[in-house]
Structure formats: structure tokens, C-alpha cells
């Protein structure tokens, strides 16, 4: 049987895990696509490409040029533009499409969460005197907090912001996850963090900050997810692998 060409839209931990698992599947030739937001790419199994496609039409052209047979959208739960483009392009190119979307985090006893719909609402919801507030929102979202001149902020980012976010009192911590509970507790204690702001990304890799906040009794401002397009969706890599098996008629190679 001819190998199927699979494009994974990356940016999530699931995308890396999926590419890794498929390295042993002879039925698929895999290429992972990255937007190119981080300066240093994390290594990925198999082939990869970097950079935007140029909207839906650009992605359709890429799918055709590269003879892509199957598209898996494994972008981050907040990358809603790419997800909408992916569904539209797969429809236009008439190829199977699946989205991996991990479930959002749910509050548990002991959590003090305030859910908001946007970064602007998150900035407004930080309690007065919560100094410093820890921001785990990505470097491009930092300007939303510039108006809270009553507070100082500690922001964890992978790369420095391209432009000054305009926050008067800002300390940056450079690190790439995952982080465990001990690391998060140590960071929060070292800086005396009084409040945590994060997107509701879900998943295990970024959960420890929420556990640390619970343990230290800190309020958490949680930004809700944007709406996602109505695509066929699975919650994890194992389900995506099961779906991929159906794409090859249940025939299996070395992956059984």
C-alpha cells in the first residue's frame, strides 16, 4: 500500500507526541508544521516545516502541492484562527481532517478560580494588592496588563517580547515547560507571587502552576478558550492514532 502523506499542524505537546508515535508507522509519511513563533524550535520526530501558509488559500495550495492525504490539527487550544483555516482548507481539498483538542482544566475543591473571557477582562479581574501577579499567558498577551499600574508582574516567557509591552514594573523569567509542582512552588515562593493569570490550556504539561496556586491559596484568573470550528475532534493522541488506523482501513504495520 502507498504511504499516506500526513500533515500535522503543530504547536502543542500532542503534536510532538503524535509525530513521535508515527515514526514507527510505515503507513504514513509525516510532516509537522510550526508557525515559527519561538526562536528555537523544539526537536520533532520526522520532517517539519516552519511558517504560515498564507490563509486558507495558501494552505489549500500547500496541501495540493505536497500531495497531503490527511490533515491533523494539533495546534494549541487557543490557536483558533489556524484551526478554522485548517477545517476550511481540508474541506476545499477534500481530504480527511481531525482536530486534537485536549479538555479544559476544571476547578477542584480548594481552587480559587475566576474565569474570564479575554485578557482585558483578566487584567481587570486581578485583585487589588495582588503584588506581584504571575503571568503565564505568552509574550504577545503582555500588553493587556499595562493598564494595571498599581501592580508589579512576573511573566514567564520562552522568548523576549518583540516590543515593549508597556508594563511599568515587569520581571521576565525565561523558561520552556513542562514544569513540575516543586518548580512552580519554588518560583511562587521565591517571588512572593500573590495571584496567577493563565489561559485555560488544559493538559498535564502546564497544570502544575494551578496545583501550586491551590497549595498556596492563591487566586487564579483563568482565561476561557475561544470557540473552535465544528470539526471532528478527539481529546488525545491515543484517540488520534485510533482514528488514523481507520484512515488506512484498519490495516496495520509495525505499530500493532
Q: Does 178 bind ligand NAP (CB under 6 A)?
A: no
List the x/- string, 130-159, binding to ligand NAP by CB under 6 A. Answer: --------x---------------------
Residues touching ligand NAP, count (CB under 6 A): 24
> With 0-12 CB in 10 A as exposed, 13-18 as middle and 19+ as buried, what is 89?
buried
Region of 31-39, 40-48, 64-72, 183-191 interacting with ligand NAP (CB under 6 A): 31-39
Q: Which of 38, 24, 32 lies closest to 75, judged by CA?
A: 32
Q: Does 12 bind ligand NAP (CB under 6 A)?
A: yes
Q: Does 11 bind ligand NAP (CB under 6 A)?
A: yes
Nearer to ligand NAP (CB atom), residue 96 or residue 255: 96
In the complex, least distance from residue 251 CB atom to ligand NAP, rounded to whole angstroms: 28
Q: Which three cell numbers stand for residue 256?
A: 500493532
User: Which of 75, 133, 200, 247 touches ligand NAP by CB under 6 A?
Assistant: 75
Report residue 113: phi and psi, to 5°. Answer: -105, 140
User: Which of 5, 21, 48, 80 touches ligand NAP by CB under 6 A?
Assistant: 80
* Residue 21: partners with Cβ closer than 8 Å, 6 or more residues away: 237, 241, 255
Q: Which of 172, 179, 177, 174 lies closest to 152, judged by CA?
A: 172
List the x/- string, 197-236, binding to ligand NAP by CB under 6 A. Answer: --x-------------------------------------
> With 0-12 CB in 10 A as exposed, 13-18 as middle and 19+ as buried, what is 62?
middle
Q: Does 105 bind ligand NAP (CB under 6 A)?
A: no
Residue of this chain nearest to ligand NAP (CB atom): 11
Q: In which residue are the cell numbers 478558550 written?
A: 225
Question: Containing H/E element for 32?
Answer: strand 28-34
Residue 237 near residue 15 (C-beta atoms within 8 A): no
Q: Does 253 bind ligand NAP (CB under 6 A)?
A: no
Nearer to ligand NAP (CB atom), residue 142 or residue 194: 142
Report the relative pairing of strands 195-199 and 170-174 from DSSP bridges. unpaired
Q: Quick one: how far is CA 89 from the chain centroid?
A: 21
In the complex, least distance from residue 202 CB atom to ligand NAP, rounded to whole angstroms: 11
Nearer to ligand NAP (CB atom), residue 137 or residue 172: 137
User: Which of 18, 82, 87, 89 touches ligand NAP by CB under 6 A?
Assistant: 82
Report the distance separating Cα 126 and Cα 112, nearest Å. 12
- Which residues form the interface with ligand NAP (CB under 6 A)? 9-12, 33-35, 37, 52-55, 58-59, 75-76, 78-82, 85, 138, 199
Amino acid at each position: 500500500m502507498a504511504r499516506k502523506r500526513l500533515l500535522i499542524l503543530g504547536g502543542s505537546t500532542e503534536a510532538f507526541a503524535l509525530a513521535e508515535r508515527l515514526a514507527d508507522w510505515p503507513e504514513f509519511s509525516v510532516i509537522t508544521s510550526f508557525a515559527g513563533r519561538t526562536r528555537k524550535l523544539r526537536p520533532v520526530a520526522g520532517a517539519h516545516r516552519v511558517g504560515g501558509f498564507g490563509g486558507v488559500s495558501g494552505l489549500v495550495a500547500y496541501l495540493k502541492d505536497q500531495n497531503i492525504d490527511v490533515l491533523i490539527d494539533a495546534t494549541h487550544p487557543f490557536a483558533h484562527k489556524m484551526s478554522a483555516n485548517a477545517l476550511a482548507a481540508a474541506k476545499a481539498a477534500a481530504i480527511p481532517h481531525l482536530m486534537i483538542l485536549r479538555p479544559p482544566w476544571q476547578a477542584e475543591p480548594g481552587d480559587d478560580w475566576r474565569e474570564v473571557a479575554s485578557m482585558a477582562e483578566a487584567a481587570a479581574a486581578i485583585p487589588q494588592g495582588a503584588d506581584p501577579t504571575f503571568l503565564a499567558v505568552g509574550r504577545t498577551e503582555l500588553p493587556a496588563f499595562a493598564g494595571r499600574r498599581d501592580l508589579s508582574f512576573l511573566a514567564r516567557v520562552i522568548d523576549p517580547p518583540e516590543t515593549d509591552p508597556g508594563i511599568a514594573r515587569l520581571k521576565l523569567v525565561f523558561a520552556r515547560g513542562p514544569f513540575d509542582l516543586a518548580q512552580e512552588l519554588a518560583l511562587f515562593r521565591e517571588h512572593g507571587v500573590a495571584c496567577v493569570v493563565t489561559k485555560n490550556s488544559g493538559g498535564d504539561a502546564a497544570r502544575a502552576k494551578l496545583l501550586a496556586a491551590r497549595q498556596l491559596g492563591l487566586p487564579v484568573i483563568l482565561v476561557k478558550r475561544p470557540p473552535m470550528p465544528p470539526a471532528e475532534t478527539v481529546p488525545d493522541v491515543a484517540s488520534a492514532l485510533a482514528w488514523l488506523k481507520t484512515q488506512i482501513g484498519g490495516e496495520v504495520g509495525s505499530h500493532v
